[in-house]
Amino acid sequence: MTIGERIREYRKSKKMSMAEFGERLGISGQAISQIELGKTVVNERILKSICSEYNVSREWLETGEGEMELLPLDEEAELLADLIKYGGKRATIASLRAIVHWYLSLPDDDKDYLDEAIVQAVELTKKRP
């Protein structure tokens, strides 16, 4: 599947016309049509606009891998901030984002179990000399 086809898939999943989709990006419905058909290459500006305006995963747009949409920004930002604070320099944003997506996909019981295990692990590391 091409990037244009993924853009069409996303747009249709939101039941938007090409004109509606393009309006928020500052481009015409005709331009969206050309992109979706693969007649126009998606430039960096449009790619960034789609990701920021619609909260679409850039990885998914470019490769088809991962989730189509990112988490709601406030929820993802909060979890990423915690992971960055505690993960230090060993973790990359991409790896932390993958952890957040995995964690949020777990059933609530599994999240509770994992949360408790993490708390216990942190307490054990605090007791080390």
Q: Is residue 68 part of a domain?
A: no
Rounded Cα gap, residues 63 and 112, in angstroms = 33
Provide the pLDDT for residue 17. 96
pLDDT digits (tens, 9 = 90+) for 64-115: 988 888 765 566 666 666 666 666 555 666 666 777 777 777 788 888 888 8
Segment 16-42 shows an average pLDDT of 95
User: How many distinct structural domains can be found in the chain?
Assistant: 2
Q: Is residue 19 part of a domain?
A: yes
Segment 32-42 shows an average pLDDT of 95
Percent of the chain whose pLDDT exceeds 70: 78
Range of the domain at 116: 73-126
Centroid of chain to Cα 76? 9
Q: Is residue 13 part of a domain?
A: yes
List, in sequence order, every residue forming a beta bridge with 26; answer none if it has no partner.
Answer: none
Q: Is the pTM of this model over 0.85?
A: no
CATH number of domain containing 25: 1.10.260.40
